[in-house]
Structure 1
Amino acid sequence: MRSNRSLLGPVLPISLTFLNQRPGRSSTTSRDFGNTLGTAENVGSLKRRASYNYTGQVGGSDLDFFRFRVRNRRRPFSLSLNNNSQFRQPIAVTVLDQQGRPVVRNGSFLFKNIEAGQTGTISVPQLGKGTFFLRLQSATGRNEPYDLSFSLTQQQAPILGSSRVTNLGTLQPNRAYNATGRVGGAAVDLYRFNVNALSRVSASLFSDRFNRSPIAFSILDRSRRTVQTDNGRFLFTNLNPGQTDRLFAPTLASGEYYLRVQSDAGRNEQYQFSLVRSNVSVRPLAA
């Protein structure tokens, strides 16, 4: 099981997303959504196993609202939000009912305040039937960027032996995405990310020197197959305790990928990783 994992660097859509989901409605480019309940972005009825992903900015009087409907009261619900603020401003996300009141489940408000560079999640086994809103705001911020993902899927559900899947969103050039975690046995950590253009991608992982077992580190494609570079090298490495290694893709095509961290023989093996993308310039062929 993962414990005490924190996202340390700027992160874009931990969010958590889920494997084996059909595509939902999404907006991968940043834009302004409705500032009130009446002008909220209308997502419509959420479909089972679909993931809904949005990228936007909030700050001060600029709020973002999303309106959606749940048709089955027994469906679980989860969301995650990556706060990409470069100015250390928190972003708050709240689930509201049809009247705009914060939803309460199990005695707690469905609310999360997320610090800059961090990812926050909300998950409930049953949200209920009806119309709901998501409200995103940053009272002291200005144009604070975020990535939002939500679905009718419970985060705690085991997925391919993984305790959770973290969505880093679309990688921005020359920005480091850092995280720490623990893996072992059936607990596999997966970090989903996208690149929107031909890119160089470098992923480094450090295995804590106090670990007892090796950690395997790899980059997977959308079908969860290990990525192979143009020269035939697979993006996979195995690290002993105290070691650091890097996976480097000189020309990674646009698309969806995963970082996978696992330790088949281990238990609570601690790691840190850093992920960086840079653009690749393609020169046209001479006439």
Structure 2
Amino acid sequence: MSSNREFGILVAVDGSPESHAALRFAAQEATLRRRPVTVMHVVSPIVVTWPIEPVVTDFYQWQEDNAADVLRRSQETLQSFGDTELDVRIEVRHDGIVTELSNASRDADMMVIGSRGLGPVGGVALGSVSRAMLHHAECPVVVVKEGAVRATDRKLPVLLGIDGSPASEAATAFAFEEASRRGVDLIALHAWSDVAVFPIVGMSWQQREDEGHEILGERLAGRQEAYPDVRVVRRIVCDKAARWLIDEAKQAQLVVVGSRGRGGIPAMLLGSISAAVAECATTPVAVVRDGRHRA
């Protein structure tokens, strides 16, 4: 493990219920990995074009007071986790949120972030910051919704979406590691079609199923030997991959997807399937960009 990854499990907090759910996931992950948790809150600068110095000064003070309150409540959430040996570090940054989190992600094993924060559009399923991190973070990103981390879920499997592209290799490695750490099964799911058109005249489902098993065999080759403790359950489905992953996520403790795959524009950093799953799944979703996972 590279010594410069000083942040360990990096969790971004803003005081929202989602960020407290992210804290609980980060504490669980740090315990499994025996790594520190870095709690980061970013105070964004404000830009004004007219002389209202008293108002600006008051707002600056409110931001600092709010940062202190957010971090205090974050520490209380981590203390309630019950692991007295948890190494917790606190970071306050003053710059653009996306810029600071992106820079910090270079020195983190993983970033954990709430699905949405306290921004002006609170009703959106995936906030602007969490969406930006899926594109720009230099490490795997786990998106967590409020109420997504429950003690009763610890025996549920890890769910991996495999699309057959090389981009899913990093996600596969990550999923095996997570299943091994948790001591649970790994469900490897492959959807042979992104279009719900089954059945089509002249189409052989047996042939498609055989092709799917071949793809899974190729992508899982070597991983099962490296992780003999992980029982792998292979699933071949004929439908839109995102729909199956979102549905299967209800019976999983973590969903792992790659950053892009079949379909879409190769130059795009985030595929439509991973975006849809991160947006809609109620289970924590790890999005692993190709080349961003380092064992």
TM-score (norm: length of structure 2): 0.30
Structure number with larger C-alpha Rg? 2
Q: Which is strand-richer, 1 or 2?
A: 1
TM-score (norm: length of structure 1): 0.30
